Amino acid sequence: MSVKAIGTYNFPSKDVRENFPAPLLFIGWEDHLVFSAPIALPLPADTPFGALGAAVLPGTYGSHPDFARIDWAAVEWTKSGKPWKPDPAKSLADNGLQHKDVIRFRTPGLNGLNGSCN
């Protein structure tokens, strides 16, 4: 379906890649609802994927008692909800990540405060 309009209806998307200094990446930490929504970050495409856990995410999630205990090799990732195995040595772009992709990570054994998913 499409918009019904009284004339030509054709407007640009506000969120295309060219409008941002770097591609936008959405990231969610499963079972940790103390962070009430996934986050949005513009990240240069050549950022190594491994830098997420080491340098990017501590700024957001570091305050959670589970964060320091994460074994990044055991983390399970999904992209658009489907299981996904990124290579931490490769860049975000070389891992196939594009503007406005959404990735989530699950940390087995770490399910929030007393296992409450918080």
Partner 1 sequence: MDTPVIKKKLGLKDRYAAMTRDLAWDTTYQPMEKVFPYDKYEGIKIHDWDKWEDPFRLTMDAYWKYQGEKEKKLYAVIEAFAQNNGQLGVTDARYINALKLFLTGVTPLEYYAYRGFAHAGRQFTGAGARVACQMQSIDELRHYQTETHALSHYNKYFNGLHSPQHMFDRVWYLSVPKSFFEDAYTGGPFEFLTAVSFSFEYVLTNLLFVPFMSGAAHNGDMSTVTFGFSAQSDESRHMTLGIECIKFMLEQDPGNVPIVQGWIDKWFWRGYRLLTIVAMMQDYMLPKRVMSWRESWEMYVEENGEALFKDLARYGIRKPKGWIQACEGKDHISHQAWATFYQYNGAAPFHTWIPKEEEMAWLSEKYPETFDKYYRPRWNHWRDQAAEGKRFYNMTLPMLCTTCQIPMLFTEQGDATKIAYRESDYFGNKYHFCSDHCKEIFDNEPEKYIQSWLPVQQIYQGNCFKPGTDPTAEGFDPLLAVLDYYHMNVGRDNFDFEASEDKKNFAAWNGDSAEGATK
Stretch that binds partner 1, among 38-46, 47-55, 69-77, 82-90 (CB under 8 A): 38-46
Cβ neighbour number for residue 84 with a 10 Å cutoff: 17
**What is d(CA 34, CA 31) in angstroms, rounded to the nearest whole number?**
9
Residues 2 to 31 in contact with partner 1, rule: CB under 8 A: 2-6, 9-16, 19-21, 24, 26, 28, 30-31
Residue number with CB closer to partner 1 (59 or 109): 59
Minimum CB separation of residue 49 from partner 1 in Å reads 18
Minimum CB separation of residue 83 from partner 1 in Å reads 14
Q: What is the 3-state secondary structure (H, E, C) of 34-50?
A: CCCCCEEEECCCCCECC
